[in-house]
Amino acid sequence: MGVLRKPVNMRIYVDGVDAVGTVKAIELPEVEFSQMEQSGVGMAGTAEYPTHMSPMEFTLTFLHYPPEFTNSMYDPLRTSQIMLSGEQKAYDGQGVPIPQALNITLRGRPKNIALGSFEEGETAEPEITYSCDYVKLTNNGAVQFEADVLTGIKVGGSLISLFGLLG
Protein backbone atom coordinates (compact mmCIF):
# COMPACT_ATOMS: atom_id res chain seq x y z
CA MET A 1 0.00 0.00 0.00
CA GLY A 2 1.24 3.52 -0.81
CA VAL A 3 1.67 6.54 1.36
CA LEU A 4 -1.43 8.66 2.08
CA ARG A 5 -0.80 12.44 2.01
CA LYS A 6 -2.84 15.51 2.89
CA PRO A 7 -1.56 19.13 3.10
CA VAL A 8 -2.25 20.63 6.55
CA ASN A 9 -1.24 23.63 8.66
CA MET A 10 -0.48 25.78 5.62
CA ARG A 11 0.65 29.35 6.25
CA ILE A 12 0.59 31.96 3.54
CA TYR A 13 3.03 34.82 3.13
CA VAL A 14 2.51 37.78 0.79
CA ASP A 15 5.81 39.50 0.00
CA GLY A 16 7.28 37.99 3.17
CA VAL A 17 4.46 39.20 5.43
CA ASP A 18 2.45 36.54 7.28
CA ALA A 19 -1.09 36.61 5.83
CA VAL A 20 -2.76 34.18 8.23
CA GLY A 21 -6.17 35.59 9.08
CA THR A 22 -6.30 37.84 6.01
CA VAL A 23 -6.41 35.34 3.14
CA LYS A 24 -9.50 33.14 2.94
CA ALA A 25 -8.47 31.00 -0.03
CA ILE A 26 -5.93 30.63 -2.80
CA GLU A 27 -6.55 29.01 -6.17
CA LEU A 28 -3.23 27.71 -7.47
CA PRO A 29 -2.20 28.00 -11.12
CA GLU A 30 -2.81 25.36 -13.73
CA VAL A 31 0.32 24.65 -15.75
CA GLU A 32 -0.65 23.92 -19.31
CA PHE A 33 1.58 23.34 -22.32
CA SER A 34 0.66 24.49 -25.80
CA GLN A 35 0.90 21.64 -28.26
CA MET A 36 2.15 21.44 -31.83
CA GLU A 37 0.93 18.73 -34.20
CA GLN A 38 3.48 16.81 -36.20
CA SER A 39 2.72 14.51 -39.11
CA GLY A 40 4.59 13.50 -42.20
CA VAL A 41 5.67 10.82 -44.60
CA GLY A 42 6.24 7.51 -42.85
CA MET A 43 4.17 8.42 -39.78
CA ALA A 44 1.10 6.29 -39.12
CA GLY A 45 -0.74 9.24 -37.59
CA THR A 46 -0.38 12.66 -36.04
CA ALA A 47 1.57 13.26 -32.84
CA GLU A 48 1.39 16.24 -30.48
CA TYR A 49 4.48 17.74 -28.86
CA PRO A 50 4.68 20.49 -26.21
CA THR A 51 6.05 23.79 -27.48
CA HIS A 52 5.75 26.27 -24.60
CA MET A 53 3.82 27.06 -21.43
CA SER A 54 0.43 28.70 -21.74
CA PRO A 55 -0.23 31.76 -19.54
CA MET A 56 -0.74 30.88 -15.86
CA GLU A 57 -2.75 32.66 -13.17
CA PHE A 58 -3.61 32.26 -9.50
CA THR A 59 -6.28 33.88 -7.34
CA LEU A 60 -6.21 35.11 -3.74
CA THR A 61 -9.46 35.71 -1.87
CA PHE A 62 -8.99 38.07 1.09
CA LEU A 63 -11.26 38.31 4.15
CA HIS A 64 -10.95 42.11 4.17
CA TYR A 65 -8.82 44.92 2.68
CA PRO A 66 -5.50 44.39 4.51
CA PRO A 67 -3.32 47.53 4.43
CA GLU A 68 -0.19 45.33 4.77
CA PHE A 69 -0.63 44.13 1.19
CA THR A 70 -1.88 47.26 -0.56
CA ASN A 71 1.06 47.36 -2.98
CA SER A 72 0.70 43.75 -4.06
CA MET A 73 -3.08 43.92 -4.16
CA TYR A 74 -3.52 46.89 -6.45
CA ASP A 75 -0.32 47.68 -8.40
CA PRO A 76 -0.33 45.82 -11.76
CA LEU A 77 3.29 46.86 -12.43
CA ARG A 78 4.64 45.32 -9.22
CA THR A 79 5.55 41.65 -8.96
CA SER A 80 4.63 39.96 -5.69
CA GLN A 81 5.83 36.71 -4.18
CA ILE A 82 3.28 34.45 -2.53
CA MET A 83 4.52 31.54 -0.45
CA LEU A 84 2.56 28.68 1.07
CA SER A 85 4.46 26.82 3.73
CA GLY A 86 3.31 23.90 5.81
CA GLU A 87 3.41 20.19 6.12
CA GLN A 88 2.03 17.31 4.18
CA LYS A 89 0.55 14.87 6.64
CA ALA A 90 1.70 11.49 5.41
CA TYR A 91 1.18 7.97 6.70
CA ASP A 92 2.75 4.74 5.55
CA GLY A 93 0.78 1.52 5.02
CA GLN A 94 0.78 0.74 8.76
CA GLY A 95 -0.52 4.20 9.73
CA VAL A 96 2.84 5.44 11.01
CA PRO A 97 3.18 9.22 10.46
CA ILE A 98 5.96 10.39 8.12
CA PRO A 99 6.83 14.11 8.56
CA GLN A 100 7.03 16.00 5.27
CA ALA A 101 7.49 19.73 4.62
CA LEU A 102 5.56 21.25 1.72
CA ASN A 103 6.29 24.66 0.17
CA ILE A 104 4.72 26.34 -2.84
CA THR A 105 6.15 29.61 -4.17
CA LEU A 106 4.37 31.82 -6.71
CA ARG A 107 5.36 35.06 -8.40
CA GLY A 108 2.92 37.31 -10.22
CA ARG A 109 1.26 40.66 -10.88
CA PRO A 110 -2.39 41.66 -10.32
CA LYS A 111 -4.43 41.12 -13.46
CA ASN A 112 -8.02 41.37 -12.22
CA ILE A 113 -9.19 43.06 -9.02
CA ALA A 114 -12.68 42.24 -7.75
CA LEU A 115 -13.35 44.47 -4.74
CA GLY A 116 -16.19 42.25 -3.50
CA SER A 117 -19.65 43.24 -2.34
CA PHE A 118 -21.12 44.26 0.99
CA GLU A 119 -24.00 42.50 2.73
CA GLU A 120 -25.23 43.01 6.25
CA GLY A 121 -23.06 41.01 8.63
CA GLU A 122 -20.79 39.65 5.89
CA THR A 123 -17.23 40.49 4.86
CA ALA A 124 -16.44 41.96 1.44
CA GLU A 125 -13.97 39.20 0.43
CA PRO A 126 -12.03 41.06 -2.27
CA GLU A 127 -10.52 38.71 -4.83
CA ILE A 128 -7.43 39.32 -6.93
CA THR A 129 -6.35 37.26 -9.90
CA TYR A 130 -2.61 37.37 -10.59
CA SER A 131 -0.78 36.73 -13.84
CA CYS A 132 1.74 34.08 -12.78
CA ASP A 133 5.36 34.09 -14.03
CA TYR A 134 6.80 31.50 -11.66
CA VAL A 135 5.68 28.49 -9.64
CA LYS A 136 7.79 26.13 -7.53
CA LEU A 137 6.72 23.04 -5.58
CA THR A 138 9.14 21.75 -2.94
CA ASN A 139 8.59 18.62 -0.83
CA ASN A 140 10.99 17.97 2.07
CA GLY A 141 13.49 20.44 0.58
CA ALA A 142 13.60 18.70 -2.81
CA VAL A 143 12.31 20.61 -5.82
CA GLN A 144 9.62 18.49 -7.47
CA PHE A 145 8.49 21.00 -10.06
CA GLU A 146 9.58 24.51 -11.02
CA ALA A 147 8.20 26.52 -13.92
CA ASP A 148 9.62 29.93 -14.77
CA VAL A 149 8.11 31.56 -17.85
CA LEU A 150 11.40 33.35 -18.55
CA THR A 151 13.96 30.61 -17.93
CA GLY A 152 12.25 27.24 -18.40
CA ILE A 153 10.92 24.25 -16.55
CA LYS A 154 12.62 22.02 -13.99
CA VAL A 155 11.30 18.64 -12.97
CA GLY A 156 13.03 17.04 -10.01
CA GLY A 157 15.79 19.67 -10.21
CA SER A 158 16.62 18.93 -13.88
CA LEU A 159 15.97 21.53 -16.56
CA ILE A 160 13.82 20.26 -19.40
CA SER A 161 13.81 22.07 -22.71
CA LEU A 162 10.62 20.75 -24.35
CA PHE A 163 12.68 19.49 -27.29
CA GLY A 164 14.40 22.85 -27.72
CA LEU A 165 11.10 24.49 -28.64
CA LEU A 166 10.52 26.61 -25.54
CA GLY A 167 9.98 30.23 -26.31
What's the pLDDT score for residue 35?
82
What's the pLDDT score for residue 165?
42
Question: What does the alpha-carbon distance between residue 139 and residue 99 come to, in Å, rounded to a whole number?
Answer: 11
What's the pLDDT score for residue 12?
92
Q: What is the DSSP letter of 70?
A: H
What's the pLDDT score for residue 149?
84
Positions in the chain short of pLDDT 50: 1, 163-167
Structural domains of the chain, ranges and CATH numbers in brackets: 4-34+48-164 (2.30.110)
What's the pLDDT score for residue 1?
41
What's the pLDDT score for residue 167?
38
Question: What does the alpha-carbon distance between residue 55 and residue 105 come to, in Å, rounded to a whole number?
Answer: 17
pTM, two decimal places: 0.79
Question: What does the alpha-carbon distance between residue 138 and residue 147 come to, in Å, rounded to a whole number?
Answer: 12
Q: What is the DSSP letter of 45?
A: S
